Structure 1
């Protein structure tokens, strides 16, 4: 499935924005305020020689909301969740993820959304879930965030493997395509702004509107920065599933 998603992205045929600076945060963003996104979770995978990086959101004392590719199932890999990462290394709490992820796959293939169960944590800020009586429309501004690369490589190529950003990055982007169903991805909406983008490592982090999580950044990141809109999983389409799995009201 991952290969199919890459092929779909390559087939979009969009042009590269040659004006993008090689020194951009989450590309084109800024340091998130210290009071923002205290529910952000860093998801790390390692097999001793390779590492992976994703984001997630603590929505319940035992549950993390993220995207389906942020789980390394291959032999030898260890998956770790770190909460309180936005408050600095002295506050981190790390959990080895021992339970299999819960994925949404009613059609027999996984949508780009996943729940991870951890040992119950106390005194951890939880992410506010969306008010789905309001559905995002074109022109609404969402805030994206993540700890992925804050620069691009030559010719604006995305950087695949980097250490987490020193500070959680936030960026505001308007919705350019309302929620729709996209095969191999699920229910998604899109956001795009000039010289702004998400990077490898930002997948799974939240897209926020009015202080609530309305989306999860999809892992479908193009090879070159700012060449297409960021794809975001529409959380409202999965709220019944999230409530049933987590027990949230």
Structure 2
């Protein structure tokens, strides 16, 4: 919990007073195909003063995989809405309110930046994302796909904007793996990068896909300027046992 509070204070959760904000965005990407990422979920956490938005993936009819700092777990939070069928935009979206606490992952008393959310009602009309084949781990140079719903532009000197605009179409971008299997204080990660391409705050929690399977969850270790450093990704294979056990027993 202490880690979450620090991250939220640093602005890794996206929130603004009296408005909806989506700050992390895919840069240098293109419209995702209407037939892919149907499992993409938009998550909104509402307090008295703000709403925070990020992404997630439906990996089971009743479970969403996302990033820990997606959620405002601190004082003043009222509820958490999940919006399904947000892609393609022609779909008739639905929403549910999360009522159960998120399932956190802890290791050596540290909370990692990956969580599971349980929906009150199973979803029967959305295809679920495929979990990775962890017998075939990512290698340096592999191409993965990131996605997000935010604005695609930057400000002067490529400074990240706080426009709050949601893209008219879910954005996808291909990036190459530059680092694999690194342990950090907030969890197990790999890193991806590509010239003039990036992901920012509002994409946090969205899936990183390889061979149509979710190998990662977008994390945040970033500067105020776009395309200056690789994107950190939570390595789903490092958590696959916890994910499967949680889904099976709760």
Q: Which moved more, 1:27-36 or 1:214-223?
A: 214-223
Deviation at residue 227 of structure 1 after TM alignment: 0.6
Match in the other structure for 2:15:
none
- Alpha carbons 1:67, 1:219 under 8 Å: kept: no
Match in the other structure for 1:111:
112
- Alpha carbons 1:147, 1:202 under 8 Å: kept: yes
Cα separation, partners in 2 of 1:178 and 1:167, compared to 1, 3 Å: same
Given the alignment of the two structures, is residue 52 of structure 1 paired with residue 55 of structure 2, yes or no?
no
Given the alignment of the two structures, is residue 170 of structure 1 paired with residue 172 of structure 2, yes or no?
yes
Equivalents in 2 of 1:109, 1:187: separation in Å? 12
Equivalents in 2 of 1:2, 1:169: separation in Å? 27
Residue of 143, 157, 160 corresponding to 1:158: 160
What SS does the corresponding residue of 1:159 show, helix, strand or coil? coil
- Alpha carbons 2:216, 2:236 under 8 Å: kept: yes
Given the alignment of the two structures, is residue 202 of structure 1 paired with residue 228 of structure 2, yes or no?
no
Q: TM-score, normalised by structure 1?
A: 0.87
Match in the other structure for 1:224:
225
Q: TM-score, normalised by structure 2?
A: 0.86
Match in the other structure for 1:131:
133
- Alpha carbons 1:149, 1:199 under 8 Å: kept: no
More strand by percentage: 2
Match in the other structure for 2:14:
none
Supply the RMSD in Å over aligned alpha carbons: 2.1
Equivalents in 1 of 2:244, 2:155: separation in Å? 41
Task: Detail structure 1 runs of 4+ shifted over 4 Å in the superposition.
Answer: 2-8
Deviation at residue 220 of structure 1 after TM alignment: 2.8
Per-residue CA deviations over 1:49-74 (Å, capped at 9, x if unaligned) read 42211100000000000001111123
Equivalents in 1 of 2:77, 2:112: separation in Å? 25
The gaps in structure 1 that reach 5 residues or longer are 9-24
Match in the other structure for 1:92:
93
